[in-house]
């Protein structure tokens, strides 16, 4: 396939001009007026070159995506939220029935710990899995992740003690580096002409996995009670009432792993054998009997070694990861607090929704997110540009948070139409802003120093995501409870804090560089 996925060369090395002169003057002496003029002309030329590149890219024919390989990658992606979230609907009841606590009001601490231990364990190993995929290949690491998710999900369903529940969730997190590796796979399956379409399927796969996880965790517990004939035929389902949802959840990574084993192609470029160098004399070669300085040849980026952890911690990548962390924290807080806000009594600052109304609201949000991601993102990313679109989208989270307490004001006045209008506006803003995650996926892959560092940089990105998933839900829920119980700012202190978080996220996005695609020498 013609073209490159990321560009040709790392921006961490000085660029050489066409006449092999230094790219920049790092001396501390003041520049002369001529130097300033030269700098201004160079900046103008750079802008013109960037516009010309964008125009050339828009005229390039779109490379067809390998649909079957992309389907396998998305299928594997669906399994991660299933492994992570399938236990959420029944975890509180399971803790109560196992006798871990004797009061339903005490289940929150233990449930929160079990929910967070997965992300904490993933945080410890996800970078190493990404780095391993740069050495061993993407496919072996994905298969290990699928096997770990299947085994740990099965064991969780047969857990009878709290330590066993924690252990199985820890195993799941430690083995799970698939999300980071799949980001690298999709980058390697696409190029600049079709990456907006390819990466739009990544959040879509997560949304599908989330929906399936909720259905599995809500429908299959106590299966033998609802279907006595099945319980009589398979006694262990009656003895372990939560093994059925765990077995169903385990089937997804098991099947996706089998499909990947037989049909998935390795996307990591193979290492090339070093080319024999012509004999030289101290860096010189003989031309017509004269000693001429040996020219420095370009080298293929696939031959460059993978960059280590410290090599990734450049100023540009650090800013990008900080912005992604803030974005991820906002997304997690919104998704976690929305059903809690809808359930909370109106007098305490919520909406007093019934379960059916909460389910309707969450379904509307999910459908809107999927439609926006599939239809709007590829169109906008090509015409606006990845970084520019990202900087616009991060602005939408602040009004999405601010509108929610306003709907409580309408609820106090019993204005149902206004409640649903405000709630729909908030969820619509979030659904559109959610495209920022796809933008970030592209930016992170573009920022990789070379192709053999894709796994490492995506591992770093997923480590940031795991950290936010570990601290975000518990912190947001605790602050929400504090706001409601003590009626701070009328129960709306949580929204003020999240609004301030959005402002910080906007500032972090504004200082990002305008383009993360690597420049060629």
Q: In the 3-class helix/strand/coil scheme, how is 426-458 assigned residue by residue? A: HHHHHHHHCHHHHHHHHHHHHCCCCHHHHHHHH
Question: Does any domain span residue 18?
Answer: no
Question: Does any domain span residue 210?
Answer: yes
One DSSP character per residue, 256-273 reads HHHHHHHHPPP-SPPPPP
Question: Does any domain span residue 30?
Answer: no
Q: Which pLDDT does position 415 carry in this prediction?
A: 86
Q: How far is CA 33 from the centre of its chain?
A: 47
Do residues 116 and 256 share a domain?
yes
Q: Which pLDDT does position 362 carry in this prediction?
A: 74
Q: How many domains does the chain have?
A: 2
Q: Which pLDDT does position 187 carry in this prediction?
A: 86
Do residues 353 and 217 share a domain?
no
Distance of CA 163 to CAs 170, 367, 473, 479, Å? 10, 37, 22, 28
Q: Which helix (H) or strand (E) holds 510?
A: helix 493-510
Do residues 355 and 420 share a domain?
yes
Distance of CA 50 to CAs 44, 54, 155, 233, Å? 10, 6, 54, 68
Q: Which pLDDT does position 34 carry in this prediction?
A: 45
Do residues 218 and 82 share a domain?
yes
CB 462 within 8 A of CB 480: no
pLDDT in tens, the chain (521 residues): 433 333 333 333 333 333 333 333 333 344 444 444 454 454 444 445 445 555 555 566 878 888 999 999 999 999 888 888 888 778 878 888 888 887 766 676 777 778 778 888 888 888 889 888 888 899 999 999 999 999 999 999 999 999 999 999 999 889 888 888 998 898 888 888 788 888 888 888 888 888 888 888 888 888 888 888 888 888 888 889 999 999 999 999 999 999 999 999 998 877 665 555 554 444 444 444 454 444 444 445 555 666 667 778 788 889 999 999 999 999 888 877 887 788 778 888 888 887 667 767 777 777 888 888 888 888 888 888 889 999 999 999 999 999 999 998 898 888 889 988 999 899 899 989 989 988 888 898 888 887 777 888 888 888 898 888 888 877 887 788 788 878 788 778 889 999 999 999 999 999 998 877 765 33
- Break the chain down into helix, strand, coil percent, rounded to 5: 70, 0, 25
Do residues 352 and 491 share a domain?
yes
Distance, CA of 441 to CA of 194 (rounded, Å): 14
Q: Which pLDDT does position 106 carry in this prediction?
A: 67
> Using DSSP, how many helices (H) and how many strands (E) does the chain show?
22, 2
Q: Which pLDDT does position 31 carry in this prediction?
A: 41
Q: Which pLDDT does position 287 carry in this prediction?
A: 45
Do residues 263 and 363 share a domain?
no
Q: Which pLDDT does position 252 carry in this prediction?
A: 94
CB 101 within 8 A of CB 110: yes
Q: Which pLDDT does position 413 carry in this prediction?
A: 87
Q: Tell me how crowded residue 136 is: count the other CB atoms within 10 A of its CB.
A: 15
Both tokens of 358, joined, read 């909460």
Question: Does any domain span residue 441?
Answer: yes
Both tokens of 338, joined, read 């929305």
Question: Does any domain span residue 133?
Answer: yes
Do residues 379 and 230 share a domain?
no
Do residues 220 and 125 share a domain?
yes
One DSSP character per residue, 75-89 reads HHHHHHHHHHHTTTT
Question: Does any domain span residue 264?
Answer: yes
Q: Which pLDDT does position 139 carry in this prediction?
A: 93
Select from 142, 120, 69 the least CA-distant residue to 455: 142
Select from 108, 222, 185 the least CA-distant residue to 480: 108
Do residues 262 and 314 share a domain?
no
Q: Which pLDDT does position 1 carry in this prediction?
A: 40
Do residues 98 and 203 share a domain?
yes
Task: Give the range of the structural domain holding residue 383, as residue numbers without chain letter.
Answer: 309-520
Helix (H, G, I), strand (E, B) or coil at 475: helix
Do residues 262 and 374 share a domain?
no
Do residues 393 and 506 share a domain?
yes
State residue 292 phi and psi, 5-degree precision. -115, 140
Q: Which helix (H) or strand (E) holds 329?
A: helix 315-343
Distance of CA 32 to CAs 24, 29, 35, 36, 314, Å? 14, 9, 5, 6, 30
> What is the CATH number for 126?
1.20.1250.20
Q: How far is CA 189 from the centre of its chain?
A: 18
Distance, CA of 331 to CA of 497 (rounded, Å): 14
């Amino acid at each position: 396939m013609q073209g490159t996925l990321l560009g040709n060369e790392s921006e961490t090395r000085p660029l050489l001009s066409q006449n092999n002169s230094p790219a920049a003057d790092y001396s501390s002496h003041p520049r002369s007026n001529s130097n300033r003029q030269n700098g201004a002309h160079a900046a103008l030329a750079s802008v013109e070159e960037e516009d010309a590149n964008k125009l050339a890219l828009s005229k390039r024919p779109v490379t067809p995506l390998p649909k079957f390989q992309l389907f396998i990658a998305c299928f594997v992606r669906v399994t991660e939220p299933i492994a992570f979230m399938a236990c959420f609907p029944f975890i509180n009841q399971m803790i109560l029935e196992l006798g871990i606590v004797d009061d339903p009001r005490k289940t929150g601490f233990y449930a929160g710990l079990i929910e967070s231990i997965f992300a904490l364990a993933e945080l410890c190993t996800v970078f190493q899995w990404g780095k391993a995929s740069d050495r061993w290949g993407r496919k072996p690491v994905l298969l290990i992740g699928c096997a770990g998710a299947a085994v740990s999900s099965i064991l969780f369903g047969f857990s009878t003690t709290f330590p066993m529940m924690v252990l199985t969730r820890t195993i799941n997190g430690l083995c799970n580096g698939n999300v980071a590796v799949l980001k690298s796979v999709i980058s390697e399956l696409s190029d600049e002409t079709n990456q907006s379409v390819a990466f739009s399927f990544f959040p879509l796969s997560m949304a599908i996995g989330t929906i399936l996880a909720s259905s599995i965790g809500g429908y299959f517990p106590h299966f033998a009670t609802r279907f006595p004939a099945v319980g009589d035929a398979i006694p262990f389902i009656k003895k372990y009432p939560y093994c059925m949802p765990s077995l169903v959840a385990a089937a997804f990574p098991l099947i996706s792993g089998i499909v990947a084993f037989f049909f998935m192609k390795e996307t990591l470029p193979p290492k090339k054998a070093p080319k024999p160098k012509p004999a030289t004399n101290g860096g010189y070669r003989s031309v017509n009997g004269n000693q001429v300085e040996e020219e420095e040849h370009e080298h293929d980026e696939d031959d460059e070694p993978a960059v280590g952890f410290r090599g990734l911690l450049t100023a540009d990548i650090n800013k990008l990861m900080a912005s992604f962390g803030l974005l991820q924290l906002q997304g997690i807080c919104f998704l976690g607090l929305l059903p809690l806000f809808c359930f909370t009594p109106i007098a305490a600052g919520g909406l007093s929704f019934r379960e059916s109304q909460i389910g309707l609201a969450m379904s509307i949000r999910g459908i809107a997110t999927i439609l926006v991601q599939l239809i709007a993102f590829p169109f906008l990313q090509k015409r606006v540009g990845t970084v520019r679109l990202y900087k616009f989208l991060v602005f939408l989270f602040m009004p999405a948070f601010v509108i929610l307490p306003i709907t409580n004001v309408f609820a106090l006045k019993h204005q149902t139409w206004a409640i649903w209008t405000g709630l729909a506006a908030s969820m619509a803003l979030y659904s559109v802003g959610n495209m920022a995650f796809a933008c970030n996926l592209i930016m992170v892959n573009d920022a990789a120093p070379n192709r053999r560092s894709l796994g490492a940089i995506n591992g770093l990105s997923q480590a940031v995501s795991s950290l936010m998933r570990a601290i975000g839900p518990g912190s947001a829920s605790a602050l929400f409870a504090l706001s409601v119980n003590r009626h701070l700012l009328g129960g709306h202190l949580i929204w003020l804090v999240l609004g301030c978080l959005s402002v910080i996220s906007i500032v972090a996005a504004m200082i990002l560089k305008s383009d993360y695609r690597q420049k060629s020498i």
